[in-house]
């Protein structure tokens, strides 16, 4: 095996490497590139397929089955929250909407005080953010690059005097076509597929796709091998072939939900594995306008407001835009039959603005819990709490005021039946509307936690200074599952920066 | 480990789904719709139930309930086995005349109701105080609208012109 290989093309048997990295997304790709650059023999295992630019046709019916977990149908156990999470070589970075933030300083301070994260400081991370920002061309965009969906969010915030700004994006020569969520057809998005994975491969790393890690086998306090199932060309059904991987060190970078599931399937359930999984649960408001918005064209996200991120009590939230292609819109829009069809006929004139709840900071917020079903599949149970309901209500109220201030004719919530608001006076209807499972559309595009870092082994899975497992000497977790809380910002850059730092530290001890 | 799921959305929900196929559930379904290609997850009765629901959920000129249901069957093939099983049980429960009588006062299978009564069943599930019924309504509704609107045959109805001709578009 050299470079990229499909697991189905590899003779059944054993592979070996200095370091085996499980997962090729934001955490795994950066880790692999750093370790390969340090001269280590790296093998990356990826459950999803290896799809590239020419496979990305900007069609929802192709993209979701090809590039998302469970064909785009992943949801929490009670189906209360839809989960958009990538599943491909390059992971979620292939499909994310390119919004980049460094981890806020106060979040890292909070982890230090409340979660015994002692081995990681803002100063430690700074040079690593700078490195990934350069490699991924992460740069703040101008307002002239915002599509109408984003521009109206900006104008509405300004009209209300709410702080708002354009975001940084990891793009180079962006066409602003609007299809980030379906894979970039021109390689403008600086996903792992076109950056750190090729960097790793150039230094000798191997990437094996359609290879699902069932479990790690531990012998004498160390992971001896990974047992893997080979998936067929459809990407979902096993071929019947197995692969075994031996390595001196193993790094789990399968992302929140799947990394905890691998630990659980491996019998490594300590440190609260699977618990405290956070989602930034997101609710949307559809604005309806006189003039065409075309919410499917243009950079999907370029504006964000953190005006409500730090409430004096309760859960904070942040506000962004979401692209509305027909399928994504059809799920978010409530109703059925003629009511639903009537709403969909207005798609061209709609904006989609979202409020993302910042979960994990209040001691009363349990977050979600990952368990493993009999088939081995991961499932996340994420309860709706009164605080989450309050955050959803407050977020929608604010979005309604923003859209009306920007000139929307009326706005409609994601409730079913929908709440329609045409004036400031109507906003009170959002207070009496229900905020429970199945009453309104709730999504998550940000999965975090479930294998927390921290220096208290009772509450954390990995040590904070090197992300090494508390009891398994050659096992590391480097991905979004180590975050002890939600982040309050889109997570991709936080994962890049952390992986860049931690892989550097791992390289020091691995040589 | 205790977990909530479609099957454990409260005790009532668990009992409901586990018994979706008993009692008046044996009343044969009206099979207005037949699969156009071999099914991957559903059987022909489940397909007929799903297509009957599709006929009320996706009401757009030109939309075919059998086509939409066939696409949902293909999507289910990518779901974990437990989710597939829950979805199949949900369809049988939705169809079941006994539970229709007990909860909504309609003693006939869903597939044998008038369209107005079928819509009333959807509303009853949507507005139910039982979480598993609301979740059931939502999973059916979302699967069906997604299966319709993901494909180019829906674009004209929503005024979407499709993606620009760049990159890998053939």
The phi, psi pair for A241, rounded to 5°, reads: -80, 150
Asked whether A223 and A268 are in contact (CB, 8 A), the reply is no
Which pLDDT value is given to residue B22? 59
Complex ipTM: 0.96
Contact between B168 and A55 using a beta-carbon 8 Å cutoff? yes
Question: Residues B158-161: contacts with CB within 8 Å, 24+ apart?
Answer: B158/A326, B158/A329, B158/A344, B158/A345, B158/A347, B158/A348, B159/A345, B159/A347, B159/A348, B160/A296, B160/A325, B160/A326, B160/A347, B160/A348
Q: How confident is the model at residue B4 (pLDDT cuts 50, 70, 90)?
A: very low
Residue B9 above 60 pLDDT? Answer: no
Check CB contact under 8 Å for B158 and A344. Answer: yes
Contact between residue B163 and residue B117 where contact means Cβ atoms under 8 Å apart: no
Q: Phi-psi region for residue A166, left (φ > 0), alpha (ψ -120 to 50) or beta?
A: beta
Phi, psi of A428 (to 5 degrees): -60, -25
Q: Give the span between the Cα atoms of B60 and A389, in whole angstroms.
A: 34
Residue B167: is its pLDDT beyond 60? Answer: no
Among all residues of A, which ones are annotated catalytic?
446
- Written in H, E and C, the secondary structure of A382-428 is CCCCHHHHHHHHHHHHHHHHHHHHHCCCEEEECECCCCEECCHHHHH
User: Per-residue b/e over A294-305, b at no fewer than 16 CB within 10 Å?
Assistant: bbbbbbbbbbbb
Q: Which residues contact A459 (CB under 8 A, 6 or more apart)?
A: A115, A116, A271, A272, A452
In the prediction, which pLDDT does B13 show?
A: 55
Q: How far apart are CA A310 and CA B104, in angstroms?
A: 45
Are the CB atoms for B51 and B43 separated by under 8 Å? no
Query: Nearest C-alpha of chain A: how many angstroms from B138?
Result: 6
Give the Cα separation of B90 and B92 in Å (integer).
5
Average pLDDT, chain A: 96
Give B102 to chain A, closest Cα distance, Å. 22
The verdict on a CB contact (< 8 Å) between B6 and A77 is yes
CB distance from B164 to chain A under 8 Å? yes
The number of angstroms, rounded, from the C-alpha of A59 to the middle of its chain's C-alpha atoms is 21
Chain centroid offset of residue A451 CA? 15
Tell me: cis bond preceding A194? Omega within 30 of 0 counts: no
CB contact under 8 A, A337 and B57: yes
Residues of B within 8 A of A184 (CB-CB) are 167
Task: List beta partners, residue A421.
Answer: A411
C-alpha dihedral, A375 to A376 to A378 to A381, nearest 10° = 60
Is B75 part of the contact surface with chain A (CB cutoff 8 Å)?
yes
Tokens of A331: 């799920």
The pLDDT of residue B17: 64
Contacts of A57 in chain B (CB under 8 A): 163, 168-170
pLDDT, tens digit, 9 for 90 and up, residues A17-58: 999 999 999 999 999 999 999 999 999 999 999 999 999 999
Residue contacts between A and B (CB atoms, under 8 Å): 170
Pairing mode of beta strands A378-381, A369-372: antiparallel
pLDDT at B43: 97
pLDDT (0 to 100) of residue B1: 32
Measure the CA–CA gap between A335 and A57, rounded to whole angstroms. 29
A82–B142 CB contact, under 8 Å: yes
Phi, then psi, of A420 in degrees rounded to 5: -105, 130
Model pLDDT, residue B106? 78
Query: Facing residues of A304 across strands?
Result: A165, A320
Are B160 and A325 an interchain contact pair (Cβ–Cβ within 8 Å)?
Answer: yes
Nearest Cβ partner for A327 among B56, B119, B150: B150
Q: Which of A61, A340, A379 is facing B150, going by the closest CB pair? A: A61
- Residues of chain A predicted below pLDDT 50: none
Q: Report in angstroms the alpha-carbon separations of A254 from A258, A381, A479, A504, B28.
A: 5, 18, 7, 19, 45
* CA distance linking residue A497 with residue A8, whole number of Å: 33
pLDDT tens digits, A143-167: 999 999 999 999 999 999 999 999 9
Please answer whether residues A283 and A392 qualify as being in contact, where contact means their C-beta atoms are separated by less than 8 angstroms: yes
Alpha-carbon distance B90 to nearest alpha carbon in chain A (angstroms): 13
Query: Looking at residue B103, what is its pLDDT?
Result: 77
Helices (H) and strands (E) in chain A, counts: 12, 24
Four-CA torsion A322, A324, A329, A334, nearest 10 degrees: 50
From chain B, the residues in CB contact with A265 under 8 A are none
CB distance from B61 to chain A under 8 Å?
A: no
B25 Cα to chain A: minimum distance (Å): 24
**Secondary structure letter of residue A11 according to DSSP:** P
Number of helices (H), then strands (E), belonging to chain B: the values are 8, 0
Residue of chain A with shortest Cα separation from B77? A236
Residue of B nearest to A348 (CA): B159
Query: CA-CA distance, A394 to A230, in Å (whole number)?
Result: 46
Mean pLDDT of chain B: 86
A296 closest CA partner among A179, A413, A155: A179
Tell me the CA distances in angstroms from B161 to A41, A347, B157, one per residue in order: 48, 12, 10
pLDDT for position A414: 97
Residue A173 tokens read as: 């020569």
Annotate B121-149 with b (16+ C-beta within 10 A) or e (fewer). Answer: bbebbbebebbbbbbbbbbbbbbbbbbbb
Please name the member of B3, B71, B134 whose beta carbon is closest to the beta carbon of A77: B3
pLDDT of residue B105: 79
Residue numbers of B between 10 and 49 with CB closer than 8 Å to A: none
Nearest-neighbour CA in chain A from B164: distance (Å)? 7
> Per-residue pLDDT tens for B23-38?
556 678 899 999 999 9
A154-184: buried (b, 16+ CB within 10 Å) or exposed (e) per residue?
bbbbeebebebebbbbbbbebebbbbbbbbb
Give per-residue pLDDT as tens, B49-96: 999 999 999 999 999 999 999 999 999 999 999 999 999 999 999 998
CA-closest candidate to residue B117, choices B58, B52, B60:
B52
pLDDT value at residue B76: 96
pLDDT of residue B18: 60
Task: Read off the pLDDT of each residue in B124-145 and give the average, rounded to a whole number.
Answer: 95
Q: Which residues of A touch B139 (CB under 8 A)?
A: 75, 79
- CA A42 from chain center: how many Å? 24
Best probe of the A interface among B1, B152, B168, by most A CBs < 10 A, is: B168
Give the residues across from A381 on adjacent strands.
A369
Of A78, A296, A341, the CB nearest to B160: A296
**In the predicted structure, residue B150 carries a pLDDT above the cut 50:** yes
Q: Which chain B residues contact residue A439 at CB under 8 A? A: 134
Q: Hey, which residues does A209 pair with through a beta bridge? A: A6
For B168, which residue in chain A has the nearest alpha carbon? A54
The 8-class DSSP code of residue A144 comes to G
In B, which residues are within 8 Å of A352 by CB distance? Answer: none
Q: What is the pTM of this model?
A: 0.96
Task: Give Cα A439 to chain centroid, integer Å.
Answer: 24
């Amino acid at each position: 095996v050299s470079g990229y290989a499909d697991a189905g093309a590899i003779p059944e048997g054993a592979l070996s490497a200095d370091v085996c990295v499980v997962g090729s997304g934001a955490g795994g790709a950066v880790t692999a590139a750093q370790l390969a650059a340090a001269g280590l023999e790296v093998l990356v295992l990826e459950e999803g397929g290896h799809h590239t630019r020419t496979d990305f046709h900007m069609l929802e019916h192709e993209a979701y089955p090809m590039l998302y977990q469970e064909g785009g149908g992943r949801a929490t156990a009670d189906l209360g929250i839809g989960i958009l999470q990538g599943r491909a070589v390059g992971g979620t970075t292939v499909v994310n909407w390119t919004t980049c933030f460094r981890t806020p300083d106060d979040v890292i301070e909070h982890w230090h005080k409340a979660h015994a994260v002692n081995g990681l400081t803002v100063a430690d991370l700074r040079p690593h953010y700078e490195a990934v920002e350069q490699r991924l061309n992460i740069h703040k965009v101008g307002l002239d690059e915002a599509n109408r969906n984003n521009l109206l969010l900006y104008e509405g915030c300004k009209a209300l005097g709410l702080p708002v700004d354009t975001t940084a994006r990891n793009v180079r020569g962006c066409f602003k076509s609007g299809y980030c969520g379906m894979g970039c057809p021109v390689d403008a998005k600086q996903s792992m597929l076109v950056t750190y994975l090729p960097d790793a491969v150039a230094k000798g790393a191997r990437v094996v796709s359609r290879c699902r890690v069932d479990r790690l086998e531990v012998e004498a306090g160390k992971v001896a091998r990974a047992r893997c199932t080979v998936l067929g060309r459809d990407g979902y059904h096993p071929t019947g072939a197995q692969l075994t991987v031996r390595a001196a060190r193993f790094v789990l970078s399968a992302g929140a939900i799947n990394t905890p599931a691998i630990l659980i399937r491996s019998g490594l359930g300590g440190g609260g594995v699977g618990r405290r999984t956070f989602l930034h649960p997101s609710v949307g408001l559809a604005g309806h306008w006189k003039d065409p918005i075309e919410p499917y064209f243009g950079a999907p996200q370029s504006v964000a407001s953190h005006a409500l991120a730090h409430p004096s009590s309760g859960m904070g939230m942040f506000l962004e835009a979401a692209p509305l292609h027909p399928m994504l819109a059809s799920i978010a829009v409530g109703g059925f039959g003629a009511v639903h069809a009537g709403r969909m006929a207005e798609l061209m004139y709609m904006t989609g603005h979202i409020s993302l709840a910042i979960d994990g900071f209040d001691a009363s917020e349990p977050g979600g819990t990952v368990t493993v079903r009999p088939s081995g599949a991961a499932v996340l149970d994420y309860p709706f709490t009164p605080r989450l309901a309050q955050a959803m209500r407050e977020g929608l109220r604010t979005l309604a005021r923003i859209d009306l201030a920007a000139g929307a004719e009326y706005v409609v919530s994601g409730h079913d039946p929908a709440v329609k608001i045409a004036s400031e006076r109507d906003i009170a209807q959002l207070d009496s509307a229900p905020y429970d499972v199945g009453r309104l559309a709730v999504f998550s595009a940000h999965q975090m936690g479930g294998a927390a870092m921290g220096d208290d082994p009772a509450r954390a899975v990995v040590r904070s200074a090197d992300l090494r497992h508390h009891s398994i000497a050659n096992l590391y977790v480097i991905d979004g599952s180590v975050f002890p809380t939600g982040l309050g910002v889109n997570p991709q850059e936080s994962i890049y920066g952390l992986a860049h730092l931690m892989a550097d530290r791992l390289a020091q001890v691995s040589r | 480990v205790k977990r909530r799921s479609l099957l454990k959305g409260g005790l009532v929900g668990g009992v409901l789904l586990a018994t979706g196929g008993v009692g008046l559930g044996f009343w044969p379904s009206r099979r207005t719709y037949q699969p156009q290609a071999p099914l991957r997850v559903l059987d022909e009765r489940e397909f007929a139930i799903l297509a009957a629901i599709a006929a009320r959920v996706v009401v757009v000129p030109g939309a075919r309930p059998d086509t939409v249901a066939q696409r949902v069957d293909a999507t289910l093939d990518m779901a974990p086995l437990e989710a597939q099983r829950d979805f199949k049980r949900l369809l049988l429960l939705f169809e079941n005349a006994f539970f229709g009588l007990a909860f909504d006062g309609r003693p006939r299978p869903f597939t044998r109701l008038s369209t107005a009564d079928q819509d009333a069943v959807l509303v009853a599930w949507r507005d139910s105080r039982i979480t598993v019924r609301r979740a059931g309504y939502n999973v059916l509704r979302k699967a069906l609208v997604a299966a319709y609107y993901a494909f180019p045959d829906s674009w004209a109805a929503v005024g979407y012109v499709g993606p620009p001709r760049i990159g890998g578009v053939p």
